[in-house]
């Protein structure tokens, strides 16, 4: 049974009724979020909405509420409908209310070719909004990098955070050995590979990607952030990192994302569909081949966020259980090792570029 409003935090009781202009009868906490708190709200009128409470901390400058709400409103105003409709927001108290999407998550083992096509089509629609009114007001996506040098600088910053973390005897062993003995040597090889490939297609590592070749992107894009309605429509959710990005990153992240387990056939279909739809983005396929190992190594470092205190603050806010932190860190270290092995095996002959 869902909890009554009396048992919920005062912030929800005070803020959400004002946003929905309705009484709140029940609010059910939805599990699965790793950065924010999400509730399924049943109103006195009978309608259902979702209420989201956003994380904010002095060590995390991201405007998660502002980015997601404004981004979804921009997309909704431009006719995109396979997203949650943004309804209202209270920036001061970090709450926003969205349409409640009645649907189920997509089982990663059940992703179909039509699902892949839906994902490519959605990205194509975002690309088509490049010249839409107020599109220039959309921010860069979270950690957007528009040159090879910017990507390399981001990798070094993430690596430095892990290497300079305070000593903690409870940490899972092996992290320092992994960074020094495996990740850093591969990073050097991947950097040389990327610079050589970029030069081969007439690109400079220092020059930013032209605005005309950029695209709007949810950034954290994949079937882990989707719901499927009974009608079969795939709805894309979680736009906290939304903004302008390099489509080569969007493609690479989809192929690499550790939350998805897609077959080589489906990944090849996805990249082919995107390249066809993004045919006005120049040498996108060649740039994906060049940048893929750098984005793969970035995923290794993202996976290792479990070792950083600032990351654990978000997990605590979202209600993620971390009773056995050492076990969790050990698990993430294994995941990072698996990701690194994938990158090492794939990048010189990328199997997803037909």
SS3 content of the chain, % helix, strand, coil (to 5): 50, 15, 35
Tokens of 16: 């959400």
**Global pTM?**
0.90
Which residues contact residue 68 at a Cβ distance below 8 angstroms, ignoring those fewer than 6 apart? 52, 54, 96, 238, 239, 240, 242
- Give the alpha-carbon dihedral of 323, 324, 330, 331, to 10 degrees: -60
Q: By CB neighbour count within 10 A (0-12 exposed, 13-18 middle, 19+ buried), where does 205 fall?
A: middle
Spatial separation of the C-alpha atoms in residues 95 and 97, rounded to whole Å: 7
pLDDT confidence of residue 315: 57
Delimit the CATH 3.30.200.20 region(s) of the chain: 5-99
- Give the alpha-carbon dihedral of 263, 266, 272, 274, to 10 degrees: -110
4: pLDDT strictly greater than 70: no
306, 322 contact by CB (below 8 A): no
Delimit the CATH 3.90.1200.10 region(s) of the chain: 108-349
Of residues 325, 345, 307, the one with CA closest to residue 158: 307
Q: 248-258: per-residue pLDDT in tens?
A: 999 999 999 99
Domain covering 108-349, topology: Aminoglycoside 3'-phosphotransferase; Chain: A, domain 2 (3.90.1200)
Query: Span 226-238, mean pLDDT?
Result: 94
Cα of 129 vs its chain's centroid, Å: 20
DSSP state for residue 60 in the 8-state scheme: B
Give the architecture (CATH level 2) of 5-99: 2-Layer Sandwich (3.30)
Q: 91-126: per-residue pLDDT in tens?
A: 989 999 999 999 999 998 889 999 999 999 999 999
Tokens of 101: 């999407």
Higher pLDDT, 302 or 315: 302
């Amino acid at each position: 049974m869902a909890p009554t409003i009396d048992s919920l935090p005062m912030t929800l009781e005070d803020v959400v009724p004002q946003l929905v202009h309705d009484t709140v009868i029940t609010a059910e906490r939805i599990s699965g979020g790793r950065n924010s708190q999400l509730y399924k709200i049943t109103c006195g009128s009978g309608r259902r909405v979702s209420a989201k409470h956003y994380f904010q901390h002095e060590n995390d400058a991201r405007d998660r509420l502002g980015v997601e709400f404004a981004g979804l409103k921009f997309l909704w105003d431009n006719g995109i409908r396979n997203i949650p409709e943004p309804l209202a927001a209270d920036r001061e108290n970090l709450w926003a209310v969205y349409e409640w999407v009645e649907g189920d998550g997509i089982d990663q083992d059940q992703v179909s070719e039509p699902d892949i096509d839906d994902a490519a089509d959605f990205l194509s629609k975002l690309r088509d909004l490049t010249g839409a009114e107020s599109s220039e007001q959309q921010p860069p996506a979270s950690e957007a990098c528009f040159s090879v040098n910017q990507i390399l600088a981001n990798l070094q910053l993430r690596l430095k955070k892990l290497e300079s973390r305070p000593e903690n005897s409870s940490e899972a062993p092996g992290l320092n050995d992994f960074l020094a003995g495996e990740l850093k040597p591969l990073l050097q090889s991947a950097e040389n590979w990327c610079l050589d490939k970029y030069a081969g297609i007439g690109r400079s590592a220092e020059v930013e990607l032209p605005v005309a070749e950029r695209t709007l992107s949810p950034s954290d894009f994949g079937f882990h952030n989707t719901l499927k309605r009974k009608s079969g429509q795939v709805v894309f959710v979680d736009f906290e990192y939304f903004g302008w990005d390099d489509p080569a990153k969007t493609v690479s992240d989809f192929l690499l994302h550790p939350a998805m387990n897609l077959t080589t056939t489906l990944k090849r279909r996805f990249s082919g569909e995107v390249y066809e739809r993004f045919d006005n983005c120049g040498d996108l396929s060649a740039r994906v081949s060049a940048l893929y190992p750098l984005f793969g190594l970035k995923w290794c470092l993202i996976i290792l966020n479990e070792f950083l205190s600032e990351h654990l603050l978000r997990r605590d806010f979202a209600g993620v259980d971390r009773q056995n932190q050492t076990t969790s860190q050990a698990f993430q270290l294994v995941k990072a090792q698996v990701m690194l092995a994938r990158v090492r095996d794939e990048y010189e002959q990328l199997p997803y570029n037909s």
